[in-house]
Every structure is written in C-alpha cells, then in structure tokens.
Amino acid sequence: MATLEAPPSPQIRLRDTPFTNEPFTDFTKEKNAQGMRAAIQKVQGQLGREYDLIIGGKRIKTRDKINSVNPARPSQVVGIHQKAGPEHVEPAMQAALAAFKTWSQTSVEERAGILFRVGDLLRERKWEFCAWLIFEVSKNWAEAEGDIAETIDFCEFYGREALRLSKAETPVQLPGERDTLMYVPLGVGAVIPPWNFPAAIMAGMTLASIVSGNTVVLKPSSDSPTIAAKFVELLEEAGLPGGVVNFCPGSGSTFGNAIVAHPKTRFIAFTGSREVGLGINRQAAEQARGQVWIKRSILEMGGKDAIIVDADANLEDAVEGVAQSAFGFQGQKCSACSRAIVDERIYDKFLEKLKTRVEKIKVGDPAENANMGAVINEGSMKTILEYIEHGKKEGRLITGGSRAKEAGEGYFVQPTVIADIQPKSKLEQEEIFGPVLAVIKSKNYDHALEIANDTEFGLTGAVYTSSREKIDRAKREFHVGNLYINRKCTGAMVGAHPFGGFNMSGTDSKSGGPDYLYLFTQAKSVGEKIG
C-alpha cells in the first residue's frame, strides 16, 4: 500500500475573535430549502461508495465488510466499509505511536489551525454533511444541522481552548524562580463514539484529542461509519499528517476491546451505553503487561431523563418542551426526556394537551423533512416495541403504541405516550432510547424531585415552574449534570451548557466546556532557578 502524503497545511490565520455558536438555518425560507434539497440529491448520487481503513496514512482493504444502510430505506446502502479486526490493532497502535513523536511536539498554534481549517471546510459543505446524516442515521433537516453546527462549534471552541491552556500560569511566582505550568499530551487514545450524534460526538472527542497533541485510533459505530469517513477526509484536506487519526471501523467486541486493552493505549474517550461503558471502565482499570500508566477513561453513558412539570408551570410551554425533548430525533438522545413527572393538580389537562401536540408529529422519510425519521436499526425497533407492549400493561396508552408502517419500509415507530406509570417500574427506570415517554403523577414538588432523582442515571433534567423558590431548590437538589429551567432538556450548546452527567451517566466529562481539554492532557509543573 502506498502511503498518502499529507497535503501541505494551508495558511490559516488563528482566530482573534471570541467564540460564538454556529447559527442555525431557517428552512422555512425557500432558498434554504432548495439548497438542502440540492445537497440531498448530490449525496444520493454518492451512496454505496466503498471506504477504506486508514492506518498511518495508508488505505487498507479487508475481506470482511460493514454495510451502512439508511434506516428509513434499509434496502439503500449508504456506504461499504472495511472491517478492522484483531490483526489491525497493532498496526494502528504503531502508526499512532509513531505519529505521536512528532505531533506531540507540533506547536499548539499549528494544531489549533488545523481545527479552524476543518471548521471552515464544514461551513462550506454544511448542507452536504447534513445530507449524509439524513441518509445514514435518519435525522431530519433541523436535527442534522444541529449535529453539524455542533461539530463546527467544537472545531472553533477546542481550538481556542487549546490556545488558552498553552498560556496557563502558576498562581504564584516564587522569588528567584521562573515557575511555569504546562499541559502536555497524554499519548495514543481510543476514540469510540456512538451513532446518534455521529458527527458532533465523534468529531468532538477526536478534535479534543488531537488539538491537545495526542494521536487517535478512531473506531466509529458500525451504524454510522460513513459520516466518520467523510470527516476523516476533511482532516486530511485540512493538512493533518498521516497517523494522527487512524480510521478503523470494526466490531466493538473484537477490535474495540483489543484497542482498549492494549498496554500502549493511554486514554479511552467513549460515548454509548451504560453496559459497554462499564465494561470499558473495568478493562481500563486492569494493568496490562508493559503498561506504565493508569489509563484515563472519559465516559458518557446515557440517561433516564426527567422533566418535572409543577402545578404553577406555563402549561403550553411545558407541553412543547416535553414533546420536543421526548421525540426529537426519535428519542434517540442520551439527553431525551423519557419521563414527564407532572403534578396531580394539572395532570389530566397536561395529558390532554400533550396528546394533541404529539399527534401532530409527522413520521416519515427525513429526506422529505418529516418531523420524525426511523430508529437506527431493526434490533432497536424490536426492543422499543417490546418496551411499548410492556408499558401498555404497566400504564395507560395515550397515543402511538406501534410501528408506523404507513411511513414506509424503514424502522419507523410511532411517537408513544404512556401515562399512569409508577415509580420504580421497568418503563420508569430503564433507558429505552426510542420515541417512548412515560408520564408519572406526582403529589407535589417534593414528591416530583424524589421521583426524578430515584434512578441510577443523572444526565439531564428540566423543571417547569414559575416559583423562584422551586427553581433554587432544583438547582440544589435535582441531581443531574445538565439542568434546564423552563425549557427543554435537550439541545446543549457548546460553551453555554458544558455537557456530561452524574452517577451511571458517566464521568461528567463536560464536553464543550472550559474543563474538557484537561481530560486529554496532563499538567507538568516546572520550577527553574534564575539569577
């Protein structure tokens, strides 16, 4: 295999403006809608292409393949990918170790410049990247754009954060010394992202790793490898040297476990299920032969998120916030509202309004910009439908409750609301990761907080109330990493809402916040005698 030479780094001017979030597009304007349709048509013509592994800048083909399909049209192949196996672990590690020797010594200005260049390229091709998300994971236009906008935000934010950390100073300068504090890279990291934010989370963990001077073995989800392949192409175009990011789609149980267990793996950045995250945590805690460090685990593992609707809430706002949080991207967000805890005094009125609102949600092919697309795969659909059948026995079906066959051949599930669910029950405790909302009646605000906190997770939550006292109590007592007041519990914005959760929701990594890059570096204190 011929080694691909990294393209020359373009001249990039470092940002001299404060960070601002990437603005969203108004698709109700026909000009924007036409642009999105044109991007969808362009990407449709590229579906079914084959993508190689990229290890040390070399393109590699394998006998085994991963076929990525469109969940809304499972007969439509989005991309064909080589499948990394155990035999690729050592080559990927050696390529990353070799690249680390030079990349770790590259100036922070050059590393940040790569991120800024990637952000610029993404802006130029934003709708095209949105279209890949529409086809590969069935996001509607707005959800897809939110994913790509967040990816751009990570490029801009982490580039600026790396420059800020490079100028860190010790709180005290001793007389007769020059005291400095440096944040140095860790080494080779395994980046294992999920399929539900296959651009933003995949790119965010990768960008944080490389801007800090680390190198990466990237194992994307087998449900969404194509968007990761397109992102790696952008990295190459922006001038990233070969071996800094090694693209290795493969099975979690073979390639993924092996790279986590490798003695030269310095850190693991993972987002996904609780079960897999805990397995990574256990594996990382074992010292392998030749391992000279404690592996760092950066884990985000989902949630069972609740919105409390108090008796004094603005009911219209609460209904809208719950509906958006529960059914945005088919409920397939770790931040999604899967429990609405509603005061008994407004319970019936809330359910009546929620039923009306949810039944307005259009389920269909997101290429045509339906409100809700398909769930990610057939296995997920079957699991969700099993939860719904169980929920019908535990509670009272308000709306939905079955597969949305009228939407087409894909894995479509109706947005489902089940009321009268009891605390501690299966539907109230277990993460479903689909368009299913359990509604629980609370006696009062104390009872609502008790129910909300009575779960092993602690990622996001929201409270709708007009009471300042209750808002302040929620800040103190609602035990989640991301709390929202009188707004939906999804849609964390980079810089404004550093994201990560408590308990079994993970290590509270706070992506998109001022502490995040600390997780990808280690602090080195230097005291130099002078004079």
Catalytic positions, written as ranges: 300, 334
Determine the Cα–Cα distance for residues 432 and 384; give it in Å rounded to an integer: 6
Determine the Cα–Cα distance for residues 147 and 140; give it in Å rounded to an integer: 11
What is the rounded radius of gyration, in angstroms, for the C-alpha atoms of the chain? 23
Determine the Cα–Cα distance for residues 305 and 461; give it in Å rounded to an integer: 6
Determine the Cα–Cα distance for residues 36 and 51; give it in Å rounded to an integer: 24
301 closest CA partner among 275, 328, 319: 275
* Per-residue CA distances from 161 to 86, 115, 419 (Å): 36, 11, 45
* Per-residue CA distances from 131 to 6, 22, 34, 138 (Å): 27, 18, 13, 10
Beta strands in 36-186 (DSSP E): 49-51, 53-55, 58-60, 65-70, 73-82, 177-185
DSSP classification of residue 71: T
Written in H, E and C, the secondary structure of 246-311 is EECCECHHHHHHHHHHCCCEEEEEEECCHHHHHHHHHHHHCCCCCCCCCCEEEEECCCCEEEEECC
198 closest CA partner among 147, 236, 262: 147
Residues with Cβ within 8 Å of residue 97, at least 6 apart in sequence: 187, 188, 215, 264
Determine the Cα–Cα distance for residues 251 and 262; give it in Å rounded to an integer: 16
DSSP classification of residue 13: P
Residues with Cβ within 8 Å of residue 500, at least 6 apart in sequence: 300, 459, 481, 482, 506, 507, 508, 509, 510, 511
* Per-residue CA distances from 120 to 70, 125, 155 (Å): 28, 9, 9
Strands 188-192 and 215-218: parallel
Written in H, E and C, the secondary structure of 475-507 is HHHCCCCEEEECCCCCCCCCCCCCECCEECCEC
Q: What distance lies between CA 511 and its chain's CA centroid?
A: 9
* Per-residue CA distances from 513 to 348, 492, 498 (Å): 40, 11, 4
Determine the Cα–Cα distance for residues 173 and 214; give it in Å rounded to an integer: 29
152 closest CA partner among 9, 21, 13: 21
C-beta of residue 492 within 8 angstroms of C-beta of residue 335: yes
